[in-house]
Chain A
Amino acid sequence: MKTRLLTTSAVLLGITLATTGGAFAQCTEIGMLTWEGYVDDAWVKPFEEETGITVKRTYVGSNDEYMAKLAAGGGDYDVVTIVSSLAERAIGAGFVEPLDVAQLPHIEQIFAGFRDLEFIHKDGELYGVPTFWGTTPVTVNADVIPEGEDFGILFDPEYAGRIGMWEDVTTIADVASYLGYDNLWTLTDEQLEEVKKKMIEQKSLVRTYWSQAGEAIELFASGEIVASNSWNYITQALREQGVNVREFVPENPVGWLDSNFVVKGSDCAAEAHAFIDHLIAPKTQGQIAEATGYTVTNPESREFMDEAVWEQLYMDEGPDLLERIEFWQDIPRRGRYLEVWNEVKAARQ
């Protein structure tokens, strides 16, 4: 017992020395604000055992809740996972603080394209560490639509009454991207009108709009719909249920990226850095990919991942896909985007 205590202290001391450059401010517990399932025991336990730092996790149910919790004062948390669409706002609002890259040895390994993304930087400083991401793919019933990888499937009269669409502002971006626009998050009034026109045109083909993943899964499983813009998770869940579905990424896909940040004013910044770095370590990334079905940012994770998973998660296409992807970003005119959605639904053909 005594020796173990000694070893732990020695390790702790080592880490503290290594990460804070000798200053004696050590924490034995850090708080993390994240989604459930993102920080599983499988990869948190090894960190806790290795460092003696306990990771206290608080789960959040929606992106809006994140902002509310951070706005209410970050005091309880040291690390927070923030999605790309809110990153700029969180940095701008001063909820998070700049990172010390020297304390993140693994950051060199992640795809450069992620490291250089604008919305995780401010004034030349890095704020967030991109950890995993996904696209909004198109999921189709492979029995009915065995081939074709075009977003246009969702506008094909052949599948009239069998199309589903995700009722979310992201869908506006999906359709805008299909129409060839590249300013997905800052569409002009004219462009929004075009998107709206296209979506109203599509209405006669649409069975229903869904808003929760569970709804989409059920719509596919019960045969109500055969194609929808979707989430990787939905395809995954349907496969597990034995539904013959396939998914593809449109030419210019829309995607989301979750990055980890250090909360402003954290007393345990060094430990927070250590944990954030642990989450992009190759082994952890392999575990995350297998457990969550989300694509990860560190290609060195290949050896810790099943080959099938590697392919399914587009890891091979990584840098190439990254070029074409449009990550969710802050939508300055969010209210207007939503209004377009409502106008689509209220329109009488």
Chain B
Amino acid sequence: MSGATVQDAGAARGWRIPGGWLLVGPPLLYLLVFLVIPYGEILLHSVWQVDGYVISRTLTGDNYARIVENPLYRQVLWNSFSTALLVTLFALAIGYPLAFFLAFVARRHRQMLYFLVVIPLLTSFLLRAYTWKIILGRSGLVNSTLTSLGLTDGPLDLFLYNQFSVVLTLVYIFVPFVTLPIYASLEKLSRDQIEASLDLGARPFTTFRRVILPLSLPGVVAGGTFTFALSFGDFVAPSLLGGPNEIMIANVIISQFGTAFDWPFGSALAMVVVVIVLAIVGIGARLEKR
């Protein structure tokens, strides 16, 4: 208590620096401990190399050369990119109407619906991915329903262990991530603008296209960027629900830190991912400003 009083007195006399540091200090410390140091470590490791179970600290560009030379890594990065793109597009296609419905249509039940959108976020990612495995499998819900309706002779393999199941699961997981920011920007939208548009004779669709959509773009960009970056780096869905072809860059990185015991090479791959994701976030931020 007395400390605060002294502080205030100091500030009143124009002696502001300690108070300022108190304010800036924790976030700076946070940035240093959770961003600067870890990323710096990864950057450093990426130019080192491994010798047996020892990491030797001699500078080398070999790790990056290996990524460029072996077409494997381009293929795997492309897998991640295309999966992330598909997931983002589908999540937006589902998330936008959902947010629109929440913001403009649902009136009485809005609270409850909002809660329903958010509630999956309270369950573990792993559990939700796992649930899809149960739903889509040979003896799962989809197959048993189809068979009991007489639509198929036996269980179909095409629902699980392929790109479809991976994308479906990720879309399901990321729909709340796009819905919430879009809802937030729609919610902020002033009703006067919509009414003005309608009063001036614009048809509802034109109003949506020329007024609502442009004004909600920041939400779309935020949600889309989130989804893209997170699904780009996902490894759970491909390893749990992917088939023989589903391998994404994060799966490769993880195995460098475990099985291969090649932290430097894993770090170099991680740096590539960081650069790609930063570029995407950068583009997103630029779009948002316009």
Chain B residue at minimal CB-CB distance from A343:
B72
B72→A211 contact, CB < 8 A? no
Chain B min CB distance to A113 (Å)? 28
Tell yes or no: A335 within 8 A of B by CB.
yes
Contact in complex: B255, A346 (CB < 8 Å): no
Q: Of B239, B244, B262, which one neighbours A211 at CB under 8 angstroms?
A: B239
CB under 8 Å from chain A, chain B span 245-273: 245-247, 251-252, 255-256, 258-262, 265
Interface residues of B in 176-214 (CB under 8 A from A): none
Closest to B160 in A: A224
Contact yes or no, B261 A64, CB < 8 A: yes
Q: A335-B265, A342-B72 are in contact. Are A209 and B260 (CB under 8 A)?
A: no
Contacts of B265 in A (CB 8 A): 335
Q: Does A269 contact B (CB under 8 A)?
A: no
B138 touches A224 (CB 8 A): yes
> Which bracket fits the contact residues of B?
20 to 34
Contact partner, B259, options A71, A169, A206, Cβ 8 Å: A169
Q: In the complex, A178→B38 CA distance in Å?
A: 44
Q: Is the Cβ of B252 less than 8 Å from the Cβ of A342?
A: yes
Pick the contact of A62: B138, B252, B256, B258 (CB < 8 A).
B258
B131 interface contact, C-beta 8 A: no
Q: How far is the CA of A208 from the CA of B261 in the complex (A)?
A: 25
A264 at the interface (CB under 8 A from B): no
A213 CB to closest chain B CB (Å) equals: 15
Using CB atoms, name the residue of chain A closest to B238.
Answer: A345
In chain A, what residue has the closest Cβ to B137?
A222
Tell me which residues from 149 to 173 in chain B have a Cβ below 8 Å from any Cβ of chain A: 155, 157, 160-161
Does A67 make an interface contact (CB < 8 A)?
yes
The chain B residue sitting closest to A330, CB to CB, is: B52
Do B244 and A345 have beta carbons less than 8 Å apart?
Answer: yes
A207: Cβ under 8 A from any B Cβ = yes
**Most B CB atoms within 10 A — which of A209, A223, A339?**
A339
**Within A57-105, which residues are at the interface with B (CB < 8 Å)?**
62, 64, 67, 71, 89, 93
| CB <8 Å contact, A346 and B72 | yes
B56 within 8 A of A: no
A334 touches B259 (CB 8 A): yes
A208 to B238 alpha-carbon distance, docked (Å):
10
* A338 contacts B138, C-beta separation under 8 Å: no
| Contact of A338 with B255 in the complex, beta carbons under 8 Å | yes
> What is the distance, in angstroms, from A225's C-beta to the closest C-beta of chain B?
10
The 9 A-B pairs with the shortest beta carbon distances in the complex, nearest first, are A345-B247, A206-B244, A208-B161, A346-B75, A335-B260, A338-B260, A203-B244, A335-B262, A222-B139
Can you list 7 residue pairs at the A/B interface with Cβ under 8 Å?
Answer: A207-B157, A222-B139, A334-B260, A335-B265, A338-B259, A339-B70, A345-B247
Interface residues of A (CB under 8 A from B): 62, 64, 67, 71, 89, 93, 161, 168-169, 203, 206-209, 211, 222-224, 334-335, 338-339, 342-343, 345-346, 348
Given A93-B53, A208-B161, A345-B244, output 7 extra A-B contacts at Cβ < 8 Å: A203-B244, A222-B137, A223-B139, A339-B72, A342-B76, A346-B75, A346-B79
